[in-house]
Amino acid sequence: MLNILISAIKVIFLLGILVFIHELGHFTVAKIFKVRVNEFAIGFGPTLWKKQGKQTKYALRLIPLGGFVSMEGEEERSESEGSFSEAKVYKKILIVAAGAIVNIIFAIILYFFLVWYYNDLSYAFMGIKDFVFSIWLSLKMLFTGGVSINEMMGPVGISSVVAKTSGIADFIYILSVISLSLGVTNLLPFPPLDGGKIVLLIIEGITKKPINPKVENIIQMTGFVLIILLSIIVANNDILRIIK
């Protein structure tokens, strides 16, 4: 029972850190560009804790499997001051990309200090190169058919790996790998991932006008449904691997 509790704490702690720094990236860049953030939330579902700031409501929700930064004019166009929809396209792209970029930087810093501590500053730089290259190679194999869906790992599989970590170094290594994977995956040009949103914003910048909201909603919903279906397949495979 104690082992189960410890494993659950490790998983929740890891997910909480990664979600927090991801959403903090969006939040910080939005604030820099004076875009109004209505809510900064960690988790989904019922609210466990909330605090209303001068402009932003900060909330901690029950299900620790994600989070969000809700900006004025993000879902529906708004002409009010500080609206996301009224910001320049390059600012919107930087805001959307910030979460993934922070995850990648966080992962590289973690891995650098981990390798440096157990080896030395030269091995650390070499390790970072190999670390980043391994993720790039995995993505390349995924798109070229070198990796099948059966080999992919979702939240269930990741949780299983995190639960089996022993020692702080092992945990930090897994934290860095998942953070880098999360950052790179989020930049893939597939809606509703951040990369998909960036593609739509680039189109907006080229055409000099926003994409039709109805068309954008169809694109986002189609992508969302496909990701949900993929997540179900991957989760099923994760469970089958665990119980074997």
**Whether residue 23 lies in the annotated active site:** yes
Q: What is the pLDDT of residues 186-236, one digit of tens each?
A: 888 888 889 999 999 999 999 988 888 888 888 888 988 888 887 788 777
Q: Can you read off the two tokens belonging to residue 221?
A: 């919903």
Closest CA to 47 of 36, 37, 39: 39
C-alpha distances in Å from residue 168, one per residue of 3, 10, 27, 163, 224: 16, 11, 29, 12, 35
> Measuring CA to CA, which residue among 82, 89, 88 is closest to residue 35?
82
- Give 169-181 pLDDT, tens digit per residue: 888 888 888 888 8
DSSP letter at 45?
A: E
As for how many domains the chain has, the answer is 1
Annotated active-site residue in 23, 76, 204, 216: 23
Average model confidence (pLDDT) for the chain?
83
What is the rounded CA–CA span in Å between residue 107 and residue 183?
A: 9
Domain that holds residue 16: 2-243
Confidence class for position 18, pLDDT limits 50, 70, 90: very high
Global pTM?
0.84
What is the per-residue pLDDT across 99-135, written as a single tens digit (0 to 9) for each? 999 998 998 888 888 877 777 565 555 566 666 666 6
